[in-house]
Chains A and B, each alone.
Chain A
Amino acid sequence: MTDTSYDRAPGDESAPLETEESGSSGLLVYSIGLLLSLILTATSFWAANTTLLWEPGIPLGLAVLAVAQMGIHLVFFLHITTGPDNTNNVLALAFGMLIVTVVVTGSLVIMTNLNDNLMPPAELMHMQR
């Protein structure tokens, strides 16, 4: 029988930690994560300061790089996978991300809209006269 009865705890490595060999593969996983994160961080700092790229696209590019680095951290440091033994962890994460998206984009959209509809101070002064 190979089916597992329970979901894996968040942060658990996929391989059972009994053999000596899995310890070194764990080290490899963390090292790959560190290397990829460093590359993405360096790219972010470069993209923010360069004049080579199309200016208006840079904030979007930075957001994409941050999402990618978040994924790297989740996979290589927190060992979240798409496997069937990780369903609970991924579902909780997905729900958290949904709330985060609603809060951030909702606030930005509503506040921008309010700002746009607000009367400019000069016009307000004109009406009072």
Chain B
Amino acid sequence: MSVTATLDGVPRGIPASEAGPASKRIVVAFGFWIFLLSDIVMFSALFAAYAVLMRATAGGPSGVELFNQTSVAIETVCLLASSYTCGLMSLAIARRQHLLTYLAAAATFALGAAFLAIELREFAGMIARDATPQRSGFLSAFFTLVGCHGLHVTAGLVWLIVMMAQVAVRGFHDVVQRRLRCFSLFWHFLDIVWVWLFTVVYLMGVRP
């Protein structure tokens, strides 16, 4: 009987019980998937806190006075486009194209940084109008939730720079490819969190 190797180097036609552990590529990505889901659980607690405290403005400014939907729409498009270019980066990596990988990574980084810059400008504007996290329960919950997502995006941008340095130094080594796969999972996951964020905070939050 001839055994043909698959993409993962796992022989086909052997029952799972006899084939040994799955390849490192699968194990690493699945472990990171579990981490992302636990991160989503953490975000769900922050979302619950925001939903509970949404009306607790303590006489301070409310969402209607503070949020600017145009800048939120621009942020959304930036993050969505960066998710798309991150997907293009995965395709370039699968085809071992250095130049395309760098270009897609640069676009992802630029769009992510643009998102972060708009968000920070929004925060600075709110703090300048005395809408600080100490002002009310609503603002504490808002800054915790949106700031936590912003911190994740910042971490993702640093991670992307590190990964590009690794591609430059080590090329498309197996280890580097596994890390890049985890990065793209992380980046797409951040966009899913943002979908809920703009829906709950910026669209539902401004309704009377």
A-side interface residues toward B, CB under 8 Å?
1-13, 16-18, 23, 26-27, 30-31, 33-34, 37-38, 41, 44-45, 48-49, 58-59, 62-63, 65-66, 69-70, 73-74, 77-78, 88-89, 92-93, 95-96, 99-100, 103-104, 106-108, 111
Contacts and interface: CB of A to CB of B under 8 A. Distances in A.
Contacts of B15: 5
Contacts of B47: 104
B22 interface: yes
A74 B33 CA distance: 12
B12 A1 contact: yes
Interface of B: 4, 6-8, 10-16, 19, 22-23, 25-26, 28-30, 32-34, 37-38, 40-41, 44-45, 47-49, 51-52, 69, 73, 76-77, 80-81, 83-84, 87-88, 90-91, 94-95, 181, 184-185, 188-189, 191-192, 195-196, 198-200, 203-204, 206-207
A77 B188 contact: yes
A10 B181 CA distance: 9
B41 A4 contact: no
Contacts of B198: 44
Contacts of A62: 199, 203-204
Contacts of B191: 73, 77
A10 B203 CA distance: 31
Given A6-B16, A38-B80, A100-B44, A107 B51 contact: yes
B6 A4 contact: yes
